[in-house]
C-alpha cells in the first residue's frame, strides 16, 4: 500500500514533465518509512548509506517536490528546523517539550472552532496550525 503513494508521486512527476530517478526513489522510500516528521538532515544521513555521493541539495529539492505533490507537508515544531510530515487529512499535534515526541490528533471540534472564529473575524480560513506543547506521560513521570 505504500506502493500506491509511490505511484502517486511518479504520476505527479510525469504530469510535471519531471523524471523518475534512483535518488528520488530512495528519498521517497525513507520518507515513507519514517512514518512522518523527518528532518532533511536525518534523511540525508540515512540516504547516504545507499547513495554515498548524494548531496544535501538533492534531498532538499526532493522534499520540496514531495510537498508540492501534496504527499508531504512542512512543519516547524522546533523553531529553526523544518520537518516533513506525511500529509493525510488535516490533523494537529501534541509535542513533548522534553523528548520531542509528536502525537497526532484529529478532533471535529477543532475544525468547528476554526470556522467559527474565522467567521466572526471576517476571515476566510485556509489552513491552520494547532500545536499543544507539554510533557508526555513518560516525561511527566521522569520529572515528578
Partner DNA sequence: ATAGATGCAAATGTTTTGCAGGAAA
Partner DNA sequence: TTTCCTGCAAAACATTTGCATCTAT
Sites of contact with its own copies (CB under 8 A): 74, 76, 79, 82, 94, 96-97, 103, 105, 107, 109-110, 113-114, 117-118, 120-137, 140
CB-based contacts of 2, cutoff 8 Å, min separation 6: 32
Element (H, E) at 33: helix 22-34
Judged by CB, which is closer to its own copies: 24, or 37? 37
22 binds, among DNA, its own copies, none (CB under 5 to 8 A by kind): DNA
Separation CA 93–CA 9 (nearest Å): 25
64 binds, among its own copies, DNA, none (CB under 5 to 8 A by kind): DNA
- Coil, strand or helix at 4: helix
Judged by CB, which is closer to its own copies: 33, or 41? 41
17 binds, among DNA, its own copies, none (CB under 5 to 8 A by kind): DNA
Q: Shortest distance, CB of residue 143 to its own copies, whole angstroms?
A: 9
Separation CA 67–CA 86 (nearest Å): 9
Residue ranges binding DNA (CB under 7 A) = 13, 17-24, 39-41, 51, 53-58, 60-62, 64, 80-82
CB-based contacts of 50, cutoff 8 Å, min separation 6: 26
Judged by CB, which is closer to its own copies: 15, or 89? 89
Q: Is residue 42 classed exposed, middle or buried when 0-12, 13-18 and 19+ CB atoms within 10 A define those classes?
A: middle
Q: Report the alpha-carbon angle 36-40-46, nearest 5.
A: 85
109 binds, among DNA, its own copies, none (CB under 5 to 8 A by kind): its own copies
Judged by CB, which is closer to DNA: 11, or 116? 11
Amino acid at each position: 500500500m505504500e506502493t500506491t503513494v509511490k505511484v502517486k508521486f511518479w504520476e505527479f512527476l510525469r504530469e510535471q514533465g519531471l523524471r523518475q530517478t534512483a535518488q528520488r526513489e530512495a528519498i521517497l522510500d525513507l520518507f515513507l518509512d519514517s512514518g512522518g516528521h523527518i528532518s532533511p538532515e536525518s534523511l540525508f544521513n540515512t540516504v547516504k548509506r545507499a547513495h554515498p555521493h548524494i548531496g544535501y541539495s538533492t534531498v532538499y529539492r526532493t522534499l520540496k517536490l514531495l510537498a508540492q505533490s501534496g504527499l508531504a507537508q512542512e512543519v516547524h515544531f522546533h523553531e529553526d528546523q523544518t520537518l516533513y510530515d506525511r500529509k493525510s487529512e488535516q490533523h494537529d499535534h501534541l509535542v513533548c517539550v522534553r523528548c520531542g515526541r509528536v502525537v497526532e490528533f484529529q478532533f471535529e471540534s477543532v475544525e468547528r472552532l476554526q470556522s467559527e472564529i474565522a467567521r466572526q473575524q471576517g476571515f476566510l480560513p485556509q489552513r491552520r496550525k494547532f500545536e499543544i506543547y507539554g510533557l508526555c506521560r513518560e516525561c511527566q513521570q521522569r520529572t515528578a
